[in-house]
């Protein structure tokens, strides 16, 4: 596979540039991102019932979000606030690992980049469902804001260096949700300090 080819080449490059700390560091990052891609692909190819026990039946969007938020709450020390006061659509959605992965990706990013709080709101009527995910972090870097959703995206701002990857998670999450008829808008929140995904 393409990823296997990249992995073999990175192993050769490690030997070739042994002792060159800057290049070794870049090669190690490349290698770790290949592994991350492999893990993502494995999760996407698994039987949804094996990967996510809760999606063995059709669920409302509220139920999907409750389960996803609950899974993060168990492993994170951040506070999750879920507001669904304006959710009036009880329509059940056919189980979909793509929707789950796409939503988990954006909620996971909010968890990763927030300082203390992740706020998720769900609004719906018979025509439209809107999910808004906010965090209280530093927001998207200005130099990449217009390109959010593109792969291989890195900011030059040192504040983000320790936590950012290559933008592949956002790219895959956005692609999966758009494939399932969603429109995804990533921006910085006007009401909170961090990023906002609608």
Q: What is the pLDDT of residue 46?
A: 60
In this structure, what token pair is assigned to residue 26? 């870049």
> In sequence order, what E strands does the chain have?
59-60, 79-83, 92-93, 117-124, 129-135, 186-188, 195-197
User: How many beta carbons lie within 10 A of that of residue 73, not counting itself?
Assistant: 15
Per-residue pLDDT tens for 7-65? 888 888 888 888 888 888 888 888 888 888 877 777 766 654 444 454 457 889 999 99
Q: Where residue 164 falls among pLDDT bands split at 50, 70, 90?
A: low
Q: Name which residue leads in pLDDT, 152 or 112.
A: 112
Q: What's the pTM value of the predicted model, to 2 decimals?
A: 0.69
Half-sphere exposure of 151 (CA within 13 A, CB side): 6
């Amino acid at each position: 596979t393409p990823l296997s080819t990249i992995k073999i080449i990175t192993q050769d490059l490690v030997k070739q540039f042994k002792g060159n700390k800057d290049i070794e560091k870049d090669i190690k990052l490349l290698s770790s991102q290949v592994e991350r891609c492999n893990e993502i692909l494995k999760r996407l190819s698994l039987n949804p019932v094996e990967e996510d026990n809760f999606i063995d039946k059709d669920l409302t969007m509220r139920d999907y979000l409750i389960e996803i938020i609950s899974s993060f709450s168990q492993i994170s020390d951040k506070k999750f606030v879920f507001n669904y006061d304006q959710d009036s659509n009880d329509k059940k959605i056919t189980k979909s690992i793509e929707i789950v992965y796409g939503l988990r990706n954006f909620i996971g990013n909010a968890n990763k980049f927030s300082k203390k709080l992740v706020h998720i709101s769900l609004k719906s009527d018979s025509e439209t469902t809107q999910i808004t995910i906010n965090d209280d972090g530093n927001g998207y870097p200005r130099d990449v804001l217009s390109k959010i959703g593109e792969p291989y995206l890195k900011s030059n701002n040192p504040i983000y260096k320790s936590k950012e990857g290559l933008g592949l998670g956002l790219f895959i999450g956005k692609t999966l949700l758009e494939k399932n008829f969603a429109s995804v808008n990533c921006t910085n929140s006007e009401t909170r300090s961090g990023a906002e995904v609608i």
